[in-house]
Structure 1
Amino acid sequence: MLILSHSRAAQVAYQDLLRLHLDDRAADLVGSVEARTRNGRTYLYDRFRLGTEMKARYLGEDTPELRARLDRAAALKAEADTRKKSMARLARMLRAEGFITTDRDTGSLLGAFARAGLFRLGGTMIGTGAYALYQGELGVRFDTDELAQTGDIDFASFERLSVALDDRVEAQPNDILSALKFDPVPGVTDTQVWRWRQSHGTAMVEFLTPAFGDETVKALPALGVSAQALNYLNYLISDPIHAIALYRSGILVQVPRPEKYAIHKLIVADRRRDGPDQFKARKDRAQAEFLIDVLAQDRPDDLREAYEDALDRGPRWRQRIDATLARMPATAEVLRDLAHA
């Protein structure tokens, strides 16, 4: 498979744009930083007074990078005007370099969700929408056939994280979706809504969460939505990364790690192979093939770790992966060589 890279200048511009958006988020610090530990993980909050009440706004999981940015919050706030101009310039440069942009409807939706705090509070964009954003993370060009979209925009989050954060989105997704002309699609056997369909188009927005057994509908309190639980999703959305959707001056979102996305697609393709989503199964395999080819060359250790992690999760996981790889002999050989390297 021929893999074409973006220019070095474009890759540097993308990383600069991502850094500036992360700086922009840290510049919103209002009060003091408070650390809270739950289930062995430490989360950071912006603690400030609003009238007579003390408020706490979730900032993210504790990392040296986030701490360093928060330590510079005052300086970052003072640099806001300069940063905005730089972000606009870098976005123009990426468009000129051939980066695929986000369409207006999707960009408006992602922007509204980002402002409401959906990504800050653990929401992760998955599916083909996330796949398209790996052009910046991996520095490679995507063919239009690889990005043929079904119109679906999928978001996922952990139920336990949503409960533990003790914070909520600043605007309800249901209100945002209604304003953007999306109508709720009630479930057949459940009144909890986790899907919305665009009234003037074919786009569908879905909220998902990991299942550990029964695939039921669950509440995500932090995001203010219900979500369809799916098995294997916990693997995909653990330890996500930031990415930029190229709309206007860019939108900071959260997506799965590309190596986990690739291996997860092998699992999903097997689940879909005999059902009504057989077309999606073919696209799953194509996306997995492309990412595995790229990662085997540029990030073999990350890919090997993700592959071995999935195989170690039990016989059902191995059966799903092996069944898909039986249809993809070239990809199977790449992973075999990687495992024996």
Structure 2
Amino acid sequence: MRFHSQIGMSAYHDLLRLLRDDVVSDLIGTPVAVTVKGRVFWYDKYRIGAKMGQKYIGPDSEDLRARLAQAKELKADAEARRRARTRLVRLLRAEGYTSTDQRTGSLLNAFARTGVFRLGGTLVGTVAFRHYEGELGVQLGVDHLAQTGDIDIGSFERLSFAVDDVVETPLVEVFKSLAFEPVPSLDNARTWRWSQGGGETLVEFLMPAHRDEGVRDLPALGVSAIALRHLDYLLHDPIPAVAHYRSGVLVQIPRPERFAIHKLIVADRRAGGPDAQKSAKDRAQAAYLIDALLELRPDELSDAYQAARARGPKWVARIEASLARMPRTADSLARLSGAIDGEGAG
């Protein structure tokens, strides 16, 4: 495994910081904290004539509060940040970081502009995997960069209802402007998949299944989504990331340790069926991330591994079925768990 230089890794995180600063530099009114069912969310509240409007900013965190406290200064520095972002993207390109292709980049940029990631949308699948190059500073080879045209976006149904906000431009209009068409499904009243170029690029919306797997609504995004088991684990506490397109696009991805363990589960679900080829790809991505995390973030990896196994025997069975086909990775995780247990006992 090879890692990018310290210069490149610093440039990536500087770019991420500048993009996150931009989130609060666009405030129209006053940031206000609102508690919904025990959780705190921040909104930009402003007056429109005789009425009050609001725009969802994000969930409460120490980092967001610090940025909100500097909102006026950040607004004044917007042009300087734009120039700095352009310089950093150029530096990352020179350092060998992978740029996002035009088709994917234009779509991610459109999603970011209309608020998909701001409202809780999280990239999953191979498009998300490619963003770990920046988050972890690992160099991805040609095999890891190869991908289908699928772009999967997951979100929590309860968060979509709780934020009380919607995308700035309906996604139906966004898809239409980019020559996407809805893919027919058994439920004619709901659309959760769009295709472009006769199926060359496919966008799917997903949500965790707390009951049966099926299609339900995500009101904040104005679309429907297919509910899948195990997805709540993957989408827990996602992180911001940068898509290397133009001067950088701020997106949201799962934590790498949860992505890796979730891939072990998904790989077993797909094994032996029509998606067997995807199953092999899932295992390869899991193995690569686990190798990187063993070196960079072993404690986080161990926590994610134990959290998944604690979900019950069915989860354990899925994980172990995949690891049975990955002896080197299985041995690494076993040794990691033993080392962590040993430290706890000491």
For Structure 1 versus Structure 2, the TM-score category normalised by the shorter chain is over 0.9
Write the mapping of 1:198-213 to structure 2, written as runs, cut at 5 A.
Answer: 198-199=196-197, 202-213=200-211
CA distance in 2, matches of 1:216, 1:201: 22
SS at match of 2:211: coil
Secondary structure of 1:228's aligned partner: strand
Map of 1:127 onto structure 2: 125
Please tell me whether the aligned partners of residues 29 and 70 of structure 1 are also in contact (alpha carbons under 8 angstroms).
Answer: no
Aligned position for 2:291: 293
- TM-score, normalised to structure 2, is 0.96
Conserved 8 A contact 1:186-1:194: no
Percent same amino acid among aligned pairs?
56
- Work out whether 1:271 is the aligned partner of 2:269: yes
Number of the residue aligned with 1:58:
56
Q: Tell me the equivalent position of 1:26.
A: 24
Take 1:68 and 1:200, find their aligned partners in 2: how far apart are those partners?
A: 46
What are the residue-to-residue correspondences of 1:1-341 with 2, within 5 Å?
A: 3-199=1-197, 202-341=200-339
Deviates more, 1:91-100 or 1:193-202: 193-202
Q: Deviations over 1:283-306 (max 9, x none)?
A: 000000000000011100000000
Give, in whole Å, the separation in 2 of the partners of 1:147 and 1:283.
11
- Displacement of 1:97: 0.7
What secondary structure does 2:200 align onto? coil
Structure 1 residue 147, shift from structure 2 partner: 2.1
SS at match of 1:141: coil
CA-to-partner distance for each residue in 1:65-119, whole Å, 9 max, x for gaps?
1011111111111101111000000000101111111111111111111010110
CA distance in 2: counterparts of 1:204 and 1:192, whole angstroms: 16
1:191: how far off? 3.5
Shift of 1:213: 2.9
8 Å CA contact 1:181–1:198 kept in 2: the answer is: yes
Distance in 2 (alpha carbons) for counterparts of 1:94 and 1:39: 42
Distance in 2 of aligned mates of 1:250 and 1:202: 25
> 1:150: how far off?
1.4
CA distance in structure 2 between the aligned counterparts of 1:252 and 1:87, rounded to whole angstroms: 12
Paired letter, 1:132: R
Shift of the alpha carbon at 1:274?
A: 1.4
Instruction: Could you list the structure 1 runs, at least 4 aligned residues long, displaced by more than 2 angstroms after superposition.
Output: 188-191
Q: Distance in 1 between the 2:243 and 2:265 partners? A: 26
Secondary structure of the 2:106 match is helix
Alpha-carbon distance between aligned partners in 2 of 1:217 and 1:128, rounded to the nearest angstrom: 22
Whole-angstrom CA distance in 2 between matches of 1:51 and 1:276: 56
Unaligned runs of 5+ in 1: none
Aligned residue identity for 1:306: A
Offset at 1:148?
Answer: 1.5
Matched letter for residue 70 of structure 2: R
Give the Cα–Cα distance (whole angstroms) in 1 for the partners of residues 176 and 188 of structure 2.
Answer: 20
2:113 partner letter: R
Q: CA RMSD in A?
A: 0.9
- Aligned counterparts of 1:67 and 1:47: Cα–Cα separation in 2: 16
* Contact 1:242/1:253 (<8 A) preserved: yes
In 1, Cα distance between the equivalents of 2:199 and 2:104?
A: 12
Letter of the structure 1 residue corresponding to residue 126 of structure 2: T
Q: Work out whether residues 212 and 231 of structure 1, in 8 Å CA contact, stay in contact via their aligned partners in 2.
A: yes
